[in-house]
Chain A
Amino acid sequence: MKNKNAILSRKDINKAAWSYIFFSQATQNFERMMGLAFCYVMEPILKKLYADKPEEYKKALQRHMQFFNTEPQLGALIPGITIAMEEARAQGEDVSEELIVNTKNALMGPFAGIGDSMIIGTYSPILLSIAMSMCLEDGNPIGPLFFCVVWLTTIVGMQWYLFHKGYSMGIGAANTFFTNKELADKITTGLTMLGLIVIGGVASTTVRAGVIYKFVSGEMSISIQERIFDKIMPGILPLLLTIGAWYLMDKKKWKTTQIILGITVLAAIMVFLGIM
């Protein structure tokens, strides 16, 4: 896709990549979502591509002002691809306006889905879980600092890579991404498994519920928590609480607010009765 007489220099692409990383979500709103920011990223590129065609420049600005919404971090591939397509169009290749707009529209949905579930729904919680386990007991600032350093370097690096990959491969980049389904499935499954184990570990130290009620009969005092629940398994109550909350949410379709209310009421009753 990359041709010898490219109009855009490496510097132009680097500049666009930075402006995407910083501004991609900066103008988010209910009407166009990321639309304005997308146009902002494209503007210097379009200016250079259509330097001697002001009408084309206007039309290009307008087509990138349209609605655009994806998971901005994984979606960094999309502006890269778009720039490659605009460059091809400016060089007189047969790339229609519709093709550019349709490519953007076709890619934003899948990237939002994969990005939300892999980056926001899996990668970030894994890192946060590890970081939380470092500081939950003693308030060690190394926990949040670890998260900041690892998250920032990996995700900014990933965006930088994807943006350039999108530009250098053009529309082919999206095809590689989607046809390589088996590898994508493997990564997703692997990350999900890793995530569930780590999250289970952190949940066991974070969710806490204990019975303070003691069975008293004459001289004898039996702590229900120590004598019964801890004998079955330490942490059995918080585990049942978490699994119960998941069951109600996933199988009984309870809303999050209902579960929060439910737990609050449960806690109130247990405290009132002196059980917890």
Chain B
Amino acid sequence: MSFLQALLIGLFAYLGSKRTPWVFGVTGGWNMIGRPLVAGLIIGVILGDVRSGVIAGAMVQALFIGQITPGGAMPADVNWASYIGIPLALAAGGTGEQAVALAVPLSMLGLGLFNFIMTINAYFPHMGDRAAEKGDGAGIRRATYLTVIPSFILRAGSAMLICYLGAPLAESLINNMPTQVLHFFAVAGRMLPAVGFAMLIKQSLSQKWMIILFLMGWIIIGATNMTVTALAILAAGIAALFVMAKGETKVVTAGTQTDEEDDCYEE
């Protein structure tokens, strides 16, 4: 990996981190450039192997698909997983499976950096407080703009340095690994996305029977040639039918025997 490539990866790592205003704020940054799927494409372009980049991105994305970050408390740092895990795996000539295997420990280590930035950034609201006391609007703006700096230095710097210095290490590590260990990485890398989907099911299930829907989607794609886009349209139809049918029975029962209906819905 050349220095310029590492620099570009660092830059995009910063643009995809949580506190960047540059690309439509959190929508285009953290929630778009920061997603491993999108990171895979960007890294693929930078390293000159779009195909491997996109595949690795999609595989790492599966691992983190169920991650939501309520109140800024993060279970794992997707940023390091994407912008260090994928480039190191690609630079070492590895595949998506290696990217997944690298992403797991990196996402846990990166959490330290995330919490560090969240903590030191608590300095800037105090700057804002002092400006507010004086009625100094320019001071509020200054405090807001200055908040960009620590994120930029730490996010871009860490991804750039680890990618640049770590690439030769990762390369020799992966090249000198016994085939048995490489095979283990491949097996584990293909199994680990189960965690991401399990997290997502856990959050989505509002009623227990809904697990059937997950099974249904699994079986339809597994047993037919249907694309996921077609499945999504079919699923939208099923969901619409259910919601409409449920809405109508409610109206009917509510009109006739409200009390009984209430009873049977209470558990």
Contact = CB atoms under 8 A, between A and B. Distances in A.
A149 to B, nearest CB: 10
B217 to A, nearest CB: 3
B132 to A, nearest CB: 4
B145 to A, nearest CB: 9
Interface string A42-62: 011011000000100110011
B11 to A, nearest CB: 17
Give chain A's interface residue range (CB within 8 Å of chain B): 35 or more
A91 interface: no
Interface stretch (A4-12, A220-228, A237-245): A237-245
Given A121-B203, A196-B201, A268-B188, A26 B147 contact: yes
B118 A30 contact: yes
Given A65-B129, A121-B68, A198-B232, A23 B21 contact: yes
A151 B31 contact: yes
A27 B146 CA distance: 9
Interface in B121-144: 121-122, 124-125, 128-129, 131-135, 137, 140-141, 143-144
A132 to B, nearest CB: 5
Interface stretch (B154-162, B166-174, B191-199, B255-263): B191-199
Interface string B45-64: 00000111111011101100
A121 B204 CA distance: 8
Interface in B217-237: 217-223, 226-229, 231-232, 234-236
Nearest to B63: A260
A229 interface: no
Interface residues of B, number: 113
Interface in A48-92: 54, 57-58, 61-62, 65, 69, 72-73
Contacts of A266: 191
Contacts of B191: 207-209, 238, 241, 263, 266-267
Contacts of B124: 27, 29, 36
Interface in A154-171: 155-156, 159
Nearest to B230: A201
The 9 A-B pairs with the shortest beta carbon distances in the complex, nearest first, are A200-B217, A139-B51, A133-B228, A29-B121, A197-B235, A245-B198, A31-B122, A61-B132, A267-B188
Given A27-B124, A44-B137, A257-B108, 16 more contacts: A28-B118, A36-B125, A133-B227, A143-B37, A155-B31, A189-B243, A193-B210, A197-B217, A197-B235, A203-B62, A206-B197, A239-B215, A241-B191, A246-B202, A259-B195, A267-B187
Interface of B: 18-22, 24-28, 30-32, 35, 37-38, 40-41, 44, 50-55, 57-59, 61-62, 65-66, 68-72, 75-76, 104, 108, 115, 118-122, 124-125, 128-129, 131-135, 137, 140-141, 143-144, 147-148, 180, 183-184, 187-188, 190-195, 197-206, 210-211, 213-223, 226-229, 231-232, 234-236, 238-240, 242-243, 246-247
